[in-house]
Each structure stands twice: as C-alpha cells, then as structure tokens.
Amino acid sequence: MKKRNQLLAAALTGALSLSLLAGCSSSAQQGGAAASGETSGSSTAASAAAASGEEDNVIRIGVIGPMTGGNAIYGEGAQNAVDMAVEEINSSGGPYTIEIVNGGELADDAQDARQAMNAYNLVMADDPEALVGSFFSSVTLPIAQQASVDNMLLVATGATNVDVTVDRPTVFRDCFIDPYQGKMAAMFVQSEGYTKVAVLYANDDDYSNGLKDAFIENCEANGIEVVYEGQCTTADTDFTSQVSQVVASGAEFLYYPCFQDTVPLLVSQARSAGFTGAIMGGDGWDSSDTTGLESQFENCYFTNHYSSEDTSDAVVNFVTKDTDTYGTESLNACASLYYDAIYMIYQAAQEGGGTDTASLVKGMTGMTFTGVGGTFTLDGNGDPEKQIVFNTFVDGQVQWFETLGPDGEVVAVRE
Amino acid sequence: MTFSLFFQSLINGLNLGAIYALIALGYTMVYGIIRMINFAHGDFIMIGAYTLFYTIPMMVSAGMPAWLAVVVAVVVCGMVGILVETFAYRPVRKAGPMSALITALAMSIFLQNLAMVLFGSRPHNVSTIFSLPSVSVAGVTVSLNVVLTIAIGLVIMLGLQLFVKKTPLGKAMRAVPQDRDASTLMGINVNRIITVTFAIGSALAAVAALMYCTTYPRVTNDMGTTMGMKAFIAAVLGGIGVIPGAMLGGVLIGLIEVFVRLFAPGWYEAVTYGTLIVILLVKPSGILGRSTGEKV
C-alpha cells in the first residue's frame, strides 16, 4: 500500500514536471531571443546611426506570422506571398527596394500571445523601419501595444479585433474589423431568411469573442432570435455536448467564429448529431481541410477578405503567380493580406517621401490603396472600409458566392 | 433538460468514455506488470492515427477494404511499443521508478517532435473507415459509428480480461508483478513477458486511434498529450493496474466531461482534473483498486 502510494506520488510528480517542461521550452526560446538581442545590441547602435544619417532607399521590414502550430498553413502562405511581393517590387526598378529582416524569414509567433513578444524582439533586434503582422488578433494585440510604445510602424494583417489600432497612431491594418464581419454575417442570416440562430464561440480567443458579440448584437437588432449561445476553447476537439444542444434548441443556422484547425471537427460532429441547417464562420475558416467531409461541408459558408475566383487584375495576377510558384495549398486570404501589406508600405514610402519610420507612418495615414483586397481608404484609426467576400463549399471546394461592399451593397455576385 | 438531450449526452459520454477507457487500458497493463507509468502511451495513439491517415487512402486506391489499415496500424504501433521498451525503458529498468518515469516523459516529447519533423505541424483529416448512417430514435440522432465504437471498446476489454485470466501467457503476466525473481525461477522469461505487455498495450493504442478518429477525424503531432492525461486520470480513478477499473474510470471521465460541458462548458477540464485530486485524497488506490492482491 505504502509503496504503491509512493509510486503514484512519483507519477504525479512526473505529470507536474511534464507541464514544467512545457513551460521551460518557451522560456528557453525567450532566453534565446534575449541572447540574440544582446549580441546584436552593438550592431543595432551602429546601424541606427547609419539609418538616421543617410537615406539608403531600402525599406527594412520585419514580418511576424504563425509558422508553426495548428494554423501553420497561414504562415506558409504568408511567407510565400511576402517573398513574391518583395521579388516583384525589387525587380520593378522603382525608387525603393525592400529588405525583409531576420534573413527574409517570418518570425514565428506560433499563434501564442507569449511567443508573439519573442517574435517581436527577434525582428526588432535587426532594427527594421516597419513591421508587418501578425495574423491572429490575440497575438497581434500585445505586438501592437509594444509597437505603439516603441513608435514603430505596424501593419497588422489578419488581426480583426477592434482594439488593435485604437489610440495607436503608428498601427494600421489591411483587413476589416470584427464588428463589421459579425454584422455582415447577421445581414446574411436575414437575407437568407433564417429566424432562429445558434452561436458557438471560443471563449479563450479575442477574435472569436469579437465576432460573437457583433453577430448577436446585429441579429437581435434585426429581430432574429438567438436560441443558443455556447462556449468552447481553441484547444477543444470534442463539441458533441454543444452540437446536441444546438440541435435541441431548434436552430436553423449555426455561427462558429473560430479557426480552420477545428472547423472540420465541428462540422463533422454537428452533421452526425443531426444538424442539417447552415453553418457559417468568419475569415478564420479559410483553408479548412474538407478531405473526406465533402458532403458534411454542404450548406456551410464563411466570410473572407478576398476570393481567388475574383476577376480583378490584382487578384488574377496574385493568384496566377502564387499558384504557379507554390501550388494551391497555401493560397489563402492570409497570404493575400501579407502581400497587400508589403505593397502598402511600399506605397507609403512613395507618398511619405522616405524609408524612415516617420515618413512611412505619414504615408500610411489616410492612404487609399488598391490591391488584392480591393480598393479601400484607411480611416482615422487606421482601419480600412473594405468589401467582404462570402464563400460556400461545393464538393469540398471553396466556391465564391458573392461580394458585398461596406454598406451591404452587392459589389459582385456569382453568375 | 429534455429527455432527448439527456439521452444524446449519455451516448456522447459513453463514446468519449470508451475511447478514454481503451487508452487507460494501455496505461493500466504496463503499470500492472512493471509498476511504471508509460507517459508516451498517448503518443502511441498519435502514431496509430498517422498510420491510419497514410494507409487508408493507400488501401482504398489499391482496391482493398479500408479496415485493413487498422491491421497495419496495430502492427506499426506494436512494433513502436516493442522498440521503445527495448531501447529506452529496458536499460533503465534497474535504476528505479523515477528514472523510468523521466525516460517515459522524454520518450513522449521525443515522439511528438519526431512526428512534427516527419509529418509537419499541420493537422490532417483522417478518412473514415466506417461510414455508417445515423439513425433517429425517439428524437435522438444516434450515429451508428458511435455505437460501433462503443461495441469495439467493449469487445476488446472483455477479450483482454479473458486473455489475462485464462491463458498461460496471461497467467505469466499476473505472476511477474507478484514476484519477479520467483517468476524467473518458475521458468517465466520476464523480459519477454514485459515486451509482450508493451506490444499489447501499444496495439490497443492503434485501436484507440481508430476509435478516436471515427468521431474526431483529425490527427496532429500533439494529440496524444491531452488524451493521454485524461486517460491516465481515468486509470487512476478506476484503480490503476486493474483492468475493469480502467474501463469504469474511462466511462466515468467521459460522462463527466460531456455532462459538465452541458451546463458549464468552461469548467469541464477543471472538473476532470479536480476528480483526480479528490480520488487521490479519498481513495488513492482508485474505485476498484485493492491494497493487496493480484494486479495486471
């Protein structure tokens, strides 16, 4: 008996040390980042002096993105798109060239708010003039906070949470914001004639909370009844409890504003629980893996930043080049946002008249830009008013449905 | 709560519980023989799931029935179990339980990172082997896949219990933990018995992977960690080292998770881990655990 208890105690100690080990790995990386910060400390001083002294016509940009973790597919697309944009700009013979710091690589935030600061410190050690990233709201919020303190220009890509740019004059973004995306989803519900909706959101994620709040608020304002509001976390794999409650509530429509790594799980579990209504998500659904779930993904929709089926010149150019070089797998909206962000900074240098951070910020403020994401103007906060794309799934393939403008007007619709 | 929702949740809980129970069996068998918690067991499931992910499309394209992929997964997992036991655990067996435990933790981290290097860090969808329809009974939608999962779990647990109680090999497996030296004197090859135990435990992981992927068709390199932890709690709850205990613990944890999530979705993990603390305080040997007697 006694020996047995000792063994159990040892086992539990082991379990504890496992979690400690997990903690260690991130602090080890932190140590590494700090160390690299120190070693480049002396060179930072030297290059800072050089940067303030002369104009070299090179825009040095640090890029941060999710290169590992469940959503590494976004980082992969972003890296390809950044490489492509830099290559295009540098070979165009324009007045400025672009250099991506950290050896041209995206700094990895691993979709983790703590890792985000390591990634930030990693790129800041190379003394960039502008930053691009990151894709996830929860990761971008701390980065935006620090960039604002450091007076560093930040162009956030997929971070749709409202607070990212508020009261931060050096922080901009090239994507729409959560209230807008939630509002458009509610508008879609109304136009399709659904009257009872259910919401399932990840309570540990800023993005998911933002979309949920906006969706519910707009649904209620439009007289649509929210019959079920359920929670999960971004790490969950089991949604059977929640989806059986959705079915029991009699909802005709389920809003699931979470990320693509759990979307196949949610959709397959909802369908096997007998839910036949529409399931919809936000831009986090982009690149969802539908392999083996083609029939379950029928009657599913998501809002997005752009559609690869769009026929505008910018989109056609981007899609053709990206798929020719890297294939279709990593062609996602995240890639298009990083691509646009690099071009926005390039345009800011031309409009601001220099490659130092102050000129770039001047160029960015109030900019009107045309790119893969359409034509838009940045408002006082640094947020764009953009068109939004509705997609659906046919045989497991994403199919463009319609594009709506900022006020809900139809910009383009599938013929 | 309506009756249909209750019944639906009961089915969901049994499904999740059957998966936990099968994983817990792997923990319990190894613990029963060599008094060691194999923390890499969750990662054996990950290996089984990746094997299914790669072999199911191969089987389908070769014109063979998809369930043959399970046989491949069982063989692969069994081999990995034997390799891990031979090269990692056997050398440190004499060094005491703490060394064995730390080796198991290291093995878990090693396997996860190996999988990340080999298969990438992106999640993949695993094709389903059984695509049985759902049936509606009294307003409740029951997926026949789920029924099959529960049935497979039950059959394997009963089979294992019979194997351990009735066969000579099972008898040897029960003898080794009682007195290793005496077992050797009676002509039992202790090393061979331990290897066989690991092979069976790991093969169970392959079946657990199949059951997991039927309901949650996704494989990632870190999927073993949480599942392994939950199943470990199930094993301790039921009484680690006791086969019926693993089943009971697994089903209880599955039901607790599903029902807690109905009322307080954010609390289910706190309740699961809290259960472990309570059981260790109240009855450290587990619900079905005895302080003396045989254990396998």
Q: Which residue has the higher pLDDT, B294 or B117?
A: B117
pLDDT at res. A47: 44
pLDDT given at position A261: 87
Residue B64 pLDDT level (bands cut at 50, 70, 90): confident
Confidence label for A340 from pLDDT (cuts 50, 70 and 90): very high
Which tokens hold the place of A309? 């089926």
Asked if A310 and A367 count as a contact pair (C-beta separation under 8 A), the reply is no
Contacting residues of A for B257, CB less than 8 Å apart: 238
CB A283 within 8 A of CB A301: no
Chain A CB contacts of B258 under 8 Å are 238, 240-241
Domain that holds residue B179: 22-223
pLDDT at B17: 92
Nearest CA in chain A to B215: A269
Residue A200 has pLDDT above 50, yes or no: yes
In a domain, B164, yes or no: yes
3-state secondary structure at position A293: coil
Q: Which pLDDT value is given to residue A55?
A: 63
Q: Which helix (H) or strand (E) holds A82?
A: helix A72-91
Whether residue B207 lies inside any domain: the answer is: yes
Q: Give yes or no for A220 touching B (CB within 8 A).
A: no
- pLDDT given for residue A37 in this prediction: 39
Predicted local confidence at residue A13, as pLDDT? 54
Where residue A52 falls among pLDDT bands split at 50, 70, 90?
very low
pLDDT recorded at residue B110? 95
- Taking residues A119-138, what's their average pLDDT? 92
Amino acid at B26: G
Q: Is B254 part of a structural domain of the chain?
A: no
Q: Which residues, in sequence order, are bridge partners of residue B30?
A: none
Instruction: Test B266 with A4 for CB contact under 8 angstroms.
Output: no
Whether the CB of A291 is below 8 Å from some CB of chain B: the reply is yes
- What integer pLDDT is reported at residue B294 of this predicted model? 47
B245 occurs within a structural domain: no
Coil/strand/helix, residue A98: strand
Residue B139: inside a domain: yes
Residue B277 pLDDT: 92
Helix (H), strand (E) at residue A58: strand A58-65
User: In terms of residues, how long is chain A?
Assistant: 415
The stretch B30-46 carries a mean pLDDT of: 89
Residues of B in contact with A230 (CB under 8 A): 265
Rounded Cα distance between A132 and B19, Å, is 43
Domain assignment of residue B238, yes or no: no
In chain A, the residue whose alpha carbon lies closest to the alpha carbon of B220 is A70
CB contact under 8 A, B280 and A261: no
Q: Hey, what's the torsion of the CAs at B245, B250, B251, B252, to 10 degrees?
A: 80
What pLDDT score was predicted for residue A305? 87
Q: How far is A49 from chain B (nearest CA, A)?
A: 41
**pLDDT at residue A31 tops 90:** no
Stronger pLDDT, A33 or B162, i.e. the higher one: B162
Handedness of CA A273, A276, A279, A285 (dihedral sign): positive
Q: Please list every residue in chain A whose beta carbon sits closer than 8 Å to the beta carbon of residue B262.
A: 241, 245
Q: What is the pLDDT of residue B60?
A: 87
How far away is chain A from the Cα of B78, in angstroms, using its nearest Cα? 24
User: Averaged over A331-353, what is the pLDDT?
Assistant: 91
∠ Cα A214 A219 A220 (to 5°): 105
Q: Are B4 and A250 in contact (CB under 8 A)?
A: no
User: Cα(B17)–Cα(B27) distance, rounded to whole angstroms?
Assistant: 15
- Give the pLDDT band (50/70/90) at residue A4: low
Of A400, A399, A398, A378, which Cα lies nearest the Cα of A389? A400
Given pLDDT bands bounded at 50, 70 and 90, which one contains residue A208? very high
- Per the domain annotation, does B183 fall within a domain? yes
The string of pLDDT tens digits covering residues B217-274 is 889 988 998 889 999 999 999 988 888 898 899 999 999 999 998 888 778 889 999 9
Q: What percentage of chain A exceeds 90 in pLDDT?
A: 43
Q: What is the pLDDT of residue A30?
A: 40
B121 vs chain A: nearest CA distance in angstroms?
6
Q: Give the model's pLDDT for residue A130.
A: 94
pLDDT digits (tens, 9 = 90+) for A135-166: 998 999 999 999 999 999 999 998 888 889 99
Instruction: Give the bridge partners for B135, in sequence order.
Output: B142
**pLDDT score at B271:** 92
Q: Does pLDDT of A7 surpass 70? A: no
Position A40 confidence tier, pLDDT thresholds 50, 70, 90: very low
Cα angle A204-A210-A213, degrees, rounded to a multiple of 5: 110
pLDDT of residue A38 exceeding 60, the answer is no
Number of structural domains (chain B) is: 1
How confident is the model over A274-285, as pLDDT tens digits? 899 999 999 889
A274 contacts in chain B (CB < 8 Å): 134, 136, 141
The reported pTM is 0.78
Q: Given pLDDT bands bounded at 50, 70 and 90, which one contains residue A108? A: very high
Q: Amino acid letter at B235?
A: A
| A70 in B contact zone (CB under 8 Å) | yes
- Can you give the pLDDT at residue A53? 40
Question: What DSSP letter does each residue of B46-109 carry, written as one string?
Answer: HHHHHHHHHHHHHHHHTTS-TTHHHHHHHHHHHHHHHHHIIIIIGGGGGG-HHHHHHHHHHHHH
Would you call A7 and B35 a contact, using CB atoms and an 8 Å cutoff? yes
Beta carbons of A240 and B109 less than 8 Å apart: no
Distance CA A15, CA B108 (A): 12
A residues 221-240 closer than 8 Å to B (CB): 230-233, 235, 237-238, 240
Task: Give B116-168 pLDDT, tens digit per residue.
Answer: 899 987 888 888 787 777 787 767 778 788 888 888 888 988 898 899 889 99
Of A34 and B257, more confident: B257
H-helix or E-strand spanning residue A198: strand A196-202
Q: How confident is the model at residue A5 (pLDDT cuts 50, 70, 90)?
A: low
> Binning pLDDT at 50, 70 and 90, where does residue B67 land?
confident
- Give the closest-approach CA distance of B122 to chain A in angstroms: 5
Render pLDDT for B74-118 as a digit per residue (tens, 0 to 9).
Answer: 999 999 999 999 999 999 888 888 898 999 999 999 999 999 899
Residue B291: the pLDDT is 57
The structure tokens 């973790």 sit at A69
Q: With an 8 Å Cβ cutoff, are A8 and B240 in contact?
A: yes
- B140, part of any domain: yes
Q: Give, for A402, the enclosing helix (H) or strand (E).
A: strand A397-404
Which residue in chain A has the smallest CA separation from B129? Answer: A292
Band (pLDDT 50/70/90 cuts) for residue A344 is very high
- What residues pair up with B280 in beta bridges, in sequence order? none
**What is the overall mean pLDDT for chain A?**
84
Considering CB atoms only, which of A14, A273, A291 is closest to B105?
A14
Q: Which of B4, B12, B222, B255 would you mutate first to test chain A, the one with the most A CBs within 10 A? A: B12
